[in-house]
Amino acid sequence: MGEAIVITSGKGGVGKTTATANIGTGLAMHGHKVVLVDADIGLRNLDVVIGLENRIVYDIVDVVEGTCKLKNALIKDKKTEGLYLLPAAQTRDKTAVSSEQMTTLINELKEEFDFVLIDCPAGIEHGFKNAIVAADKAIVVTVPEVSAVRDADRIIGLLLANEVSYVRLIINRLRKDMIDAGNMLDIDDTLEILSVDLLGIVPEDSDIIRSSNIGEPVIIKAESPSGIAFRNIVARILGENVPLMELKKEPAGFFASIKKLFSRKQV
Amino acid sequence: MGSWANFIQKLTGKTQTKDVAKERLKFVLFHDRSEIPPALVDVIKDEIIAVLDKYLDIDQTKMDVELTRLDDDTRTTASALVASIPIKGVKKLQ
Amino acid sequence: MSDIVAFRGKQSSLEIEIASEADFSDILKAISERMESKRSFFSGTACVKIAGGSLAEEQQRELEGMLIKDYGVLSVEFQGKTRPQIRVARQAQARREESTLTSELKSGVSSKTTGSAVFIQETVRNGQRIDFDGDIVVCGDVNYGAELVATGNIAVMGALRGKAHAGSSGDETAVVTAYRLEPQQLRIGRIIAIAPKDTQQVNYPEIARVTGDALVIAPVSRVIK
């Protein structure tokens, strides 16, 4: 029996979908059977981030309404062995699936997969409630920014109130230059306010955008700082005790860009 | 930095990731607006081949089944399924 | 209509002078029309002081309710005959509480209690609200967006960043204290306050109490009886 982990944040745009795609890919790279569930019905995005957007025939609403069997809707990733996607519907909205239907579906997936990762939509209404209803654990993603942390706090409160007691935090998009200058909340500030255990940190990294452009999760790239961060997060999920990575400054300025141009491939 | 990037591209002939992104985005948006699942076209193509294969000898390597926008203005979501299937001959029916 | 009420705007408060001989419904109408006509100007006005009008208690409550609910005013005070009575009543109540307690504790320590307290041993998060008839003690933080409402006192052994309303049934002798007092909003009885714009963060515990008609915040170690 596998476990269902919901990846949530409250605020939109902090990196839930990217985290879901990378953590899922990482777990599959370790040999586990992983299914990614896009619970953001009406605004599907997990498919595009993973690069499977052109393989969608059926989606989660088709499964729940009986139009097709679950196995017909699951898309097997050709680049990473053991990784599957259950896409969201694009032309319906979040009320198309009920909590009971979601629970049945997730439990069915738990029988076949080691990890069921649920990409939660932003907000706290129906979509959020559905995404957490069958979750065993939760990963809350936040960025070190006032409104995101406030929303994360609300979300943590709701998770605990809804019997998801295992909650871990990922702090995304950290910028060492801003933290050093005192212009960004650092890790300790954020943990002090949220009072929850840290799963990992991910530095701000332009490779994330490049990876999203080509539909390949950044964890596959061995040298990217954010890829390394996600690998560490996956290792911790699997029980390893990995120390937090050191944040490095991203080079800036004209000459640094020239240096980058001649030392790295363009993709 | 834009002109540098173009200069380097001409030198190396490599695609920028943003061009890949643009193409993928056009694909995704077209399918979202027309509400036709992206991979459905492949499924249809295979089934068309199966039917035609009963009666005609078709060149599968040169055939093309595509979902495109109807001509005229770029704002329309109306789509057309366009199939181009070279026929090599007629099969003798048993 | 403008003879019935006169508006005088000050720094962060508004003074309304009511002509004594007017009908209460006319007074309400006049005030509401003036507030409405300059809605954006008046909204968020921290404090409205109303003088004159010889309003009865229910009338005062009605006017106060309208100003707070419809026009976003934070607190309303009535100047005139009624105030001294309230002050006396408060003092009398306070004295009475102290005398029962010293007799019980027999240690000469001055204290106050509502008789029941709830002890919360975790951080109160954004979106959560604790409503209690008695005192509230939080061993943890109270985050922005969280709300504590107590008929008695509130003590936060951590950072108070949310809203705290002590003395919610009208007891203005209630206090709010925290290791770090950085509240979104503080309320004791009917007095509401938001932090002044140029607040500096301090790193010692503070206590907020009502003195006169204002909410005063003092360091805990220098609380003098």
pTM (whole model) above 0.80: no
**Pick from B17, B27, B35: CB nearest A91:** B35
Average pLDDT, chain B: 79
CB B74 within 8 A of CB B58: no
A78 neighbors A84 (Cβ within 8 angstroms): no
How many angstroms separate the CA of residue C120 from the nearest CA in chain A? 14
E strand residue ranges, C64-184 = 75-79, 117-120, 129-132, 135-138, 147-150, 154-160, 163-166, 176-181
The distance from CA C183 to its chain's CA centroid, rounded to whole angstroms, is: 13
| CATH fit for domain A3-263, picks 3.40.50.300, 1.20.210.10, 1.10.1740.10, 3.40.50.1820 | 3.40.50.300
Beta strand spans in chain C (E) = 5-9, 13-18, 47-52, 75-79, 117-120, 129-132, 135-138, 147-150, 154-160, 163-166, 176-181, 185-188, 191-193, 206-211, 214-219
Interface of A with B in 76-105 (CB under 8 A): 90-91
Helix (H) or strand (E) holding A208, with range, is helix A207-214
* Residue A165 backbone dihedrals phi, psi, to 5 degrees: -90, -15
C-alpha to C-alpha distance for A212 and A51, rounded to whole angstroms: 8
Tell me the sheet residues that pair with C17.
C6, C51
Residue A265 and residue B7: Cα distance in Å, rounded?
15
| Segment among A251-255, B16-20, C48-52 with least mean pLDDT | A251-255
Q: What are the tokens at A162?
A: 């809804």
Maximum alpha-carbon separation in chain A: 58
B with A: touching (≥3 Cβ pairs within 8 Å): yes
CA distance B4 to chain A (A): 10
Verify C-B touch: 3 or more CB pairs within 8 A.
no
Percent of all residues in chain A with a pLDDT value above 70, rounded to a whole number: 93
Q: Which residues contact C103 (CB under 8 A, 6 or more apart)?
A: none
| Under 8 Å between Cβ of C143 and A190 | no
- Nearest by CB: A156 against C125, C140, C141: C125
Assess whether pLDDT exceeds 90 at residue C192: no
| Facing B17 at nearest CB: one of A58, A90, A210 | A210
Q: What is the ipTM of this complex?
A: 0.80
pLDDT tens, residue by residue, A74-121 = 999 999 999 999 999 998 888 999 999 999 999 999 999 999 999 999
Q: Output the pLDDT for position C105.
A: 46
Computed over every residue of chain A, the mean pLDDT equals 92
